[in-house]
Every structure is written in C-alpha cells, then in structure tokens.
Amino acid sequence: MKQKSLSIRALALTVVAGVLLATTGCAEVEERAEAPGVDWEQKILYVGALNDESGPAAPMGRPFALGLRTLVHQINAGESDLLPEGWRVRLVERDHGYNPERAVAAFHETHEQVLFYLQIFGTPNVLAVRPLLEEHNIVAFPASGSSLMAEHEYTPPAGASYRVEAMRAMDFIVDEFGATEDLRVAVVYQQDDYGMDGYEGWLAAAQHYGIEIVTEQAYQPGQQDFTEVVAGLIEADADAVFLATLPTATATILGTALQEDYLPTWIGNAPAWSDRFFDRRALPAPLLEHTYFVASGPFWGEEIPFVEDFIEGFEAYTRGRVPPDTYVLAAYVAAQVPFAAFRQALENDDVSREGYLRALRGISDFDLDGALPEPLDYTRFPYMPAVQSRVLQADLDNRRFTVVSDYQAPRGLTNSPD
C-alpha cells in the first residue's frame, strides 16, 4: 500500500479538515509501525539472519550464510522473480556462534529492523529465541530440522525432520542387513535437542522392527575426545551405527574407529555430513565406503533445473569465498519460501507482520522444479513438513553424492500426511 499524498489535503483550510488530516496521518504512521522492515519508497525489504559462522556448527553455518547471500545478490541484480520488479533485499545479520544466549541478544539487537528472519541457525538457538518470536509476532525460518519446529507457528519447517531422517536410516539398514534378531544397531548422538530428535527417531524405528539397540552413546556439544564412545561401540559389537552428530564429531568418531580397525556401517542425519569430507585428507576412502547419510534436499551437481539455476548465482556471486558446498545450496533452497510469502503479502496488500504470517499460511503445493521430494504446504497447523528423504553416499572421484536409496517416507512413520 503506497503512502497517500498529503498535498491535496493541505489545501483544505477548515479546522475540521485539519483535524481529519491529522487523524489520517496518524493512522498512516501507525500502519507503517506495524510493518517494520519495509521501505515503501525505496522498495527495500529488510530481513534478519542469525548465523553460526564461528561456533561448533560453523562448517555448516558459514556456507549456509553464503547461500542466503547468494540468493539476495540475485534478487538485487534483478535475476530472480521471487520479488516484484524493483524490489531489493537488505540482510541484517549477526553471528551467534551457536550460543543460545548470544542468539537472544542478537534478536534483541535486530528485531525492530526486520519484517521476518530469513534464518536462525541451529536448534538450540531457535528454541532460545522462540518465546520472543511470539511476543513480537515475527516469523523466523529455522535452519533446523528438529521436530519441535512444526509445533510453533512462528518457526515453519521445510525439509524432513531429524527424527524422520533417522527412521529412514533404519529402513535402509534393515534393507541391507535384514530385520533379524542377530542385527546389532547402535546410536551416537549429541546431547541436545538436535541429537535427541535423531536419537528418538532411531529408537522409534528400532521398536517398529523389534530390533534392540545394543548401545546408546551420548556426547556433549563441543566434545573432542571420542575414545570412550568408540570403545562402547566396539564392546557392543554393533553392525550399524546411527550418527546424530555434527561434522566435527563425525570426523573424529570415524577416525578414532578406523584407528581401532572398527568398520561398521555408519549412517547419519544430514547435519552429520560436511562437504569437506570429499577431501581424501579429511576422511580416508575406506571410511566413506562404509558411510551413508540421509537427506531431504538436492545436492551439489544434481542434474535438475533448480540446481542449474543456483549454480549460475554461485558462480557469479559466491565462488572464491567457499568451495562448492551442499550447505550453500541447502540455504538457497530454504530461502525460497520466505521470499515467496513476502511477494504474496504484497499481492494481498498487507505486509504487516500479521499479514506476512497470513500469506505464509496460504502457501500450498510449493515446488521447486524437482528440488523437493514433495510440495511444501503451510496451510495446516501444526505444520506437516516433508516426510520423504533419501540415502546418499559420497562419490570421492566426482566430488558429489550417489543416491543409493531414493526418496521414501519411513515405513514406521505413523503421522504421515492424509
């Protein structure tokens, strides 16, 4: 809604007209106050991003932040139709270092400047900020696959949850080994909301198949020594181990196990992977021959139209700042819905925070030229995120993934869409 001209009203000389003018002007100011982050005259949208570029998840957080910036560059260069012609985006960013207290402080510093948050990175940080989102009526798109995101209207999820990925991982292990009483499965998980979500999915799937988990190994965020964790896996003689871990822990666990000549089948949540693992110096090839990851989005080099369009933006704006990295692509994918919702709010002639949420809640059948396993739908609440994921294995020679098991919903999932 564009600001009305006050020049015509200024011609009215009566006191009544003056009062009406003052009243109308106040109403317009109040209307603007309800839509922070929108500069109508310059056609600029201000959005927030609370990143992790210095904390324990930085191997994912840094490329994720670059993926957001890549899309913003494309929009501002007029190379994207996500926003109407002439509109530009300004990112208001902070680095919380994967520290929930810093995430809360960063929110307080930025929330008055933005219409919504394009990203809050990491499950613990989203959960710390979430009470403030409802207080200020502001949507924040989580860079988190925690199942908890779907339970809150202001943290709309996108891909499959960590819990769903873990259940899909169990399906794959059962297909590989068979659901027999001799199958020995284990889990290593980070002792926080992220790790627990994967752990609970693995446990639920094991119960679905009647399989016993022979050992459960938890570790603290930031932990560096995994000798005891690996010793516990060896003692339990686990055939397959699920990893609800972050990349730094993944590399150390697998490296420690290799030193002990322990080579089970490893399978992890999507965040357990880093594209740095494509470097043979990071993880030896014999390890990756036994290692799989579950994911619900496209990967670098996948031959689908959406990825090809993304590569053009990466080559133009981001190459040189980071090597090719799947997390750059993941952020680019995740940022599509937030901007699509803003465009819809513009078409609805209501870009207040309430109007933005209404526009988001009207999105259904949102697809991205084959980039998603299933269309996104935000019309139901609690949100029903994607439930399909696939199993990938690293192809070191071509620095990309091989799909070893295509998109499926977990067989043990009981809350799948109608």
- 313 membership: H or E segment, kind and range: helix 305-317
Give tens-digit pLDDT for 251-305. 999 999 999 999 999 999 999 998 889 887 777 777 888 999 999 999 988 888 8
Residue 361 burial (10 A CB sphere; 0-12, 13-18, 19+): middle
Across the range 315-325, mean pLDDT stands at 85
Provide the percentage of residues in the chain whose pLDDT is more than 90. Answer: 70
Q: For the chain, which domains are there?
A: 39-159+300-386 (3.40.50.2300), 162-295+391-408 (3.40.50.2300)
85 pLDDT above the threshold of 50: yes
Q: Which SS3 state, helix, strand or coil, does residue 82 take?
A: coil
Task: Note the pLDDT tens digit of each residue in 5-26.
Answer: 323 233 222 333 333 333 333 3
Please list the helix, strand and coil fractions of the chain in percent, rounded to the nearest 5, in that order.
45, 20, 40
In this prediction the pTM is 0.86
Q: Of 90, 86, 42, whose CA–CA distance to 68 is shortest?
A: 90
What single string gives the DSSP state of each residue in 216-276? EEEE-TT----HHHHHHHHHHT-SEEEEE--HHHHHHHHHHHHHTT---EEEE-GGG--GG
Crossing angle of helices 58-76 and 326-334, rounded to 10°: 50
Give buried/exposed letters for 262-280 (b at 16+ CB in 10 A, else e): bebbbbbbbbbbbbbbbee
Determine contact, residues 248/221, Cβ cutoff 8 Å. Answer: no
Cβ neighbours of 370 (radius 10 Å): 13
The predicted pLDDT at position 71 comes to 95
Hey, what are 182's tokens?
A: 């001799």
Q: Identity (one letter) of the amino acid at 365?
A: D
Q: Using one digit for the tens of pLDDT, what is the confidence trace for 207-260?
A: 999 999 999 999 998 899 999 999 999 999 999 999 999 999 999 999 999 999
